[in-house]
Amino acid sequence: MAQKAVAAALRRAVLPHFHVPDLEAQVNRGQLVLSDAQLREPVVIFGLCCTGSIESLSATWSWRSLLSSPATLEVCGLYMCIRLGDGGASSPSLVGADDEGPDPQSRSFVNRLKRRIWDTLRLKITKIHMRLEAPGDEDSKS
């Protein structure tokens, strides 16, 4: 049940928001690799409107010890543009959506599983470039 829930969550999290020309997903082996992923459209993350791309992303986890061992997420080449004060309701959101399941008990299990993975996640980011834009920045460039 956990493998199906995680696989479905990965599909919902990645495919609607990213154009991914090279997607290697070996979910049953506890691995996900993305190369040259580009956000399809601006996305709201914690109220901030973001665009960007990722050169490569690698996620690994152990199904046998998913609740006791950390998952690892390695990102190389993260390029983001963050627009302050532009978190409009018309943009899709990556954070805050409830997980859907066939029944409330299933949703509760998925939420607990997701929380446990986030609490133990090991994150490594290399080669990062972030640009912050404030409202009115476009006017000052002309």
Inform me whether the pLDDT recorded for 13 exceeds 80: no
Segment 106-118 mean pLDDT: 79
Which residues, 6 or more positions from 75, have their beta carbon under 8 angstroms from its beta carbon? 54, 56, 57, 123, 124, 125, 126, 128
E strand intervals along 3-140: 18-19, 22-26, 31-39, 43-45, 48-60, 72-83, 122-133
Amino acid at 101: G
Q: Do the Cβ atoms of 107 and 99 come closer than 8 Å?
A: yes
Can you give the length of the chain in residues?
142
**pTM higher than 0.85:** no
Distance in angstroms (rounded) separating the CA atoms of residues 94 and 9:
12
pLDDT attached to residue 96: 46
Confidence of residue 123 (pLDDT cuts 50, 70, 90): very high
Structure confidence at residue 99 as a pLDDT band (50, 70, 90): very low
Angle at 41 between CA 71 and CA 88, to 5 degrees: 100
What confidence tier does 139 reach under pLDDT thresholds 50, 70, 90?
Answer: low
pLDDT band at 50 (very low <50, low <70, confident <90, very high): confident
Residue 32 confidence class, pLDDT cut points 50, 70, 90: confident
| Per-residue confidence band for 111, with pLDDT thresholds at 50, 70 and 90 | confident
Phi, psi values for residue 9, rounded to 5°: -65, -40
Mean pLDDT of 123-130: 94
63-83, pLDDT tens digit by residue? 888 888 899 999 999 999 988
